[in-house]
Structure 1
Amino acid sequence: MNILVDENIPMAEAFFSRFGSVVTFAGRGLSPEALVDTDVLIVRSVTRVNAALLAKATKLRFVGSCTIGSDHLDIEYLESRSINWCTAPGSNADSVVDYVVCSLCAVDDYMARLLGGGRLGIIGYGNVGRRLAERVSGLGIGCVAYDPLIDAQSDPRLVGIDEVLHCDVLCLHAPLTRTGPFPSYHLLSLEQLLRLPKGALLLNAGRGEVVATGVLLELAALRPDIQLVLDVWEGEPVVSAELAARCAIATPHIAGYSLDGKFKGAAMVAEALANVLGVSEEQSWPSEVAAALTAPQVSVQDCGEPWQAAALSAYNPKEDHQRFLASLGADDPGGAFDALRKHYPPRRELSRCEFVFDGAVDKAQLNVLSALQGHR
């Protein structure tokens, strides 16, 4: 069995070699000719899997995406050809939540503002949105969410979009949809975003097309008091350098790029493939994967409150921000965008980290840190 796997899926051999011969490919460079003898295709969100790509893939039986979204898969076409498919919903949700809370720790005093009685709003209440709500609620932060696809009676946090727009921090985690009763494409208008409170923060770690680039540029010009944290962009991998320069934090679609999240995504797809092939799935992850996931010890650098210092010692998104801004001056910024993702340094989820402090830390601070990690 011939298996093609995106080169940015770590330890692909460990996860998929027991099913057949594994060959890797560059996510944006896959051609129809490369799929002529392929039985299984494993992708990430940068590969558009549609009729044009699969025109010569006559042997293809299975398409798996090691990511949470499905907007890059033409599901109707896959099902018309009886090609099994799957995604990995929730696999990197904790990684994205870590990105949010670390960004709030890194930009001005937003986390302290929320802890002092501010409110966080969420648009898109799926795996990421729910876990973010649970994480900040564990910190004692007020949180509301908007998702028209979910019955508002099912969760007390669900409110109308107007209420969400009055929060101190607004986080976008909606999937990209262009059809249906509530499409998310260009969901938020300039008029709506201008309602955000003074000094608010707008963070998008969902899909870039949920807010138009032009709208965000106008917002930055009209409301310079509003801080922007953007991990996703219209037109990726070529993005607006002007918009990136306006951001407190700008990163190249890496919010979900923790090592833990990548491994969870690959494991979910491997399990789905095993089910399709009718073979027994291993009860534990490959030994080399388990070894790579040993809990890291993080030495906490002295920078502010102990819980804040710990979070930023584990992951400081401003380091990604600096690398990303530098890449925008390259001759091929689109290629540089993909290179940053391909060579992204290993990052672990906060919940997996063991923090080492130089001095004593009181119980109240440790409780905040534990909640920040998502421990209950």
Structure 2
Amino acid sequence: MKIVADENMPYVDELFGQLGQVTKVDGRHLTAQQLVDVDVLLVRSVTQVNQALLESANKLTFVGTATIGLDHLDERYLQHRQLAYTNAPGCNATAVGEYAFIAMLELAQRTESSLKGKRVGIVGAGNTGTAVARCLQAYGVETLLCDPLLAQSGDSRQFVSLETLIERCDVISLHVPITKTGEHPTWYLFDEKRLNQLKPDTWLLNCCRGEVIDNQALIQVKQHRSDLRLVLDVWEGEPQPMPELVPLVDIATPHIAGYSVEGKAKGTYMLYCALLKQLGQAPTTELHQLLPALWVEQLQLAGIPNEKALLTLLRFVYDLRDDDRLFRERFLNNNGFDLMRKNHKHRREFSALRVANSGGSDVDWMLKLGFSGVSR
């Protein structure tokens, strides 16, 4: 079996090497010729899987994308070719949720305010949006959800309209797929009109797709709305964000909100399990066997006295400021955006750290936040 995989997918050799010959490629510049006589194709969101790419894929039987989205796959064509394909829904949800939560705490410190005193609106309540809500609710922050498709599907949670969310929320975090058609398209969901409707001092976070916000309109609005705070992990026109937008953003990163060690490993592992199922085989490797130990095994806490202390603890696991600094230094470099993504291998999730309670304080809420091993 011949397997072609994006070079930035981790643990491909450890998992798929058991099944056949693995060739790693630059997913953004993959060509049709590279897929001749290939049985399995493993990609990320930077690869457009369509008829042009697959025209010479004479032996292809399986396409897997280690992402939650499918917008880069021509599903109609794959179905026409009767090719099995799958994504990895939820693989990076925890990572995105923790990224957004940390970013909000960073903004709170910079603005000398408290996240706990704000109302947060989450647009898109699927896997990633739910993960954000889980972190916020564990910390005691009020949240509102907006997801008309889930509301129509009978989801039992309470939802509000986008207009209500914009009117009532101090913080808005975006977690929707990119769609251009249907009753609720998300392309330029936040256009100039909606951006101008944001409350004074609103924090706006985008961790889904760059084109959910009209970036040119965002530049225009931000130039006369200095009160708005922005966290952008995704950008219109990736991998070449608008240079004039970056200085206007409070926290800027190169589409790595979901790039935890755990999240990326989970994405690859889900594709491994899906291919094995198609082959009628059972997994011989477990996910936990792949993950390295954190450099420290356990911390003992006497409690979390305030929000600053919480942020200090979270920085111990992942310091978002490092990626923000590197982005500003390197995004204009040749291939800088993609190189930062390729080399982003250090970030861990809260679950990698075991926290022990040595002071008798009630820190059980940290279990809900995602930390491991909290004890009384």
TM-score (norm 2): 0.91
Contact 1:350 1:373 in 2 (8 A): yes
Cα distance in 2 between the residues matched to 1:236 and 1:47: 12
Cα distance in 1 between the residues matched to 2:286 and 2:46: 29
Deviations 1:49-106 (A, max 9, x none): 0001001001100000011111111111001000000000000000001101111121
Per-residue deviation at 1:177?
A: 1.1
Query: Where do residues 149-228 of structure 1 align in structure 2 (5 Å cutoff)?
Result: 149-151=149-151, 154-165=155-166, 166-228=168-230
Per-residue deviation at 1:42?
A: 0.3
Q: Does 1:314 align with 2:317?
A: yes
Contact 2:63 2:84 in 1 (8 A): yes
Cα distance in 2 between the residues matched to 1:231 and 1:298: 30
Letter of the 2:370 partner, please give it. Answer: Q
Query: Which secondary structure state, in structure 1, belongs to the residue aligned with residue 51 of structure 2?
Result: coil
* Cα pair distance change 1:198/1:369, threshold 3 Å: farther
Contact 1:101 1:372 in 2 (8 A): no
Contact 1:328 1:336 in 2 (8 A): yes
Cα distance in 2 between the residues matched to 1:294 and 1:150: 37
Per-residue deviation at 1:158?
A: 0.9
Cα distance in 1 between the residues matched to 2:201 and 2:246: 19
Per-residue deviation at 1:374?
A: 6.4
Deviations 1:273-302 (A, max 9, x none): 011122222362484x14x256854779x9
Cα distance in 1 between the residues matched to 2:220 and 2:162: 21
Letter of the 1:55 partner, please give it. Answer: E
Deviations 1:173-199 (A, max 9, x none): 000112222111111222222222221
Cα distance in 2 between the residues matched to 1:198 and 1:147: 24
Letter of the 1:124 partner, please give it. Answer: G
Aligned match of 1:143: 143
Cα distance in 1 between the residues matched to 2:295 and 2:268: 19
Per-residue deviation at 1:156?
A: 3.9
Aligned match of 1:44: 44
Deviations 1:164-218 (A, max 9, x none): 1131110000001122221111112222222222211000000001111112112
Unaligned runs of 5+ in 1: none
Structure 1 range deviating more: 199-208 or 307-316? 307-316
Cα distance in 2 between the residues matched to 1:286 and 1:198: 45
Letter of the 2:361 partner, please give it. Answer: K
Query: Which secondary structure state, in structure 1, belongs to the residue aligned with residue 29 of structure 2?
Result: coil
Per-residue deviation at 1:352?
A: 2.2
Query: Where do residues 267-286 of structure 1 align in structure 2 (5 Å cutoff)?
Result: 267-282=269-284, 284-285=286-287
Cα distance in 2 between the residues matched to 1:279 and 1:345: 30
Cα distance in 1 between the residues matched to 2:371 and 2:223: 36
**For the aligned residues, what is the CA RMSD?**
2.5
Q: Does 1:84 align with 2:93?
A: no
Contact 1:135 1:374 in 2 (8 A): no
Aligned match of 2:370: 373
Unaligned runs of 5+ in 2: none
* Cα pair distance change 1:319/1:286, threshold 3 Å: closer
Query: Which secondary structure state, in structure 1, belongs to the residue aligned with residue 286 of structure 2?
Result: coil
* Cα pair distance change 1:113/1:194, threshold 3 Å: farther
Cα distance in 2 between the residues matched to 1:60 and 1:170: 42
Cα distance in 1 between the residues matched to 2:296 and 2:257: 19
Q: Does 1:10 align with 2:10?
A: yes
Give identity over the alignment, percent: 36
Contact 1:104 1:111 in 2 (8 A): no
Structure of higher RCO (CA pairs closer than 8 Å, 6+ residues apart): 1
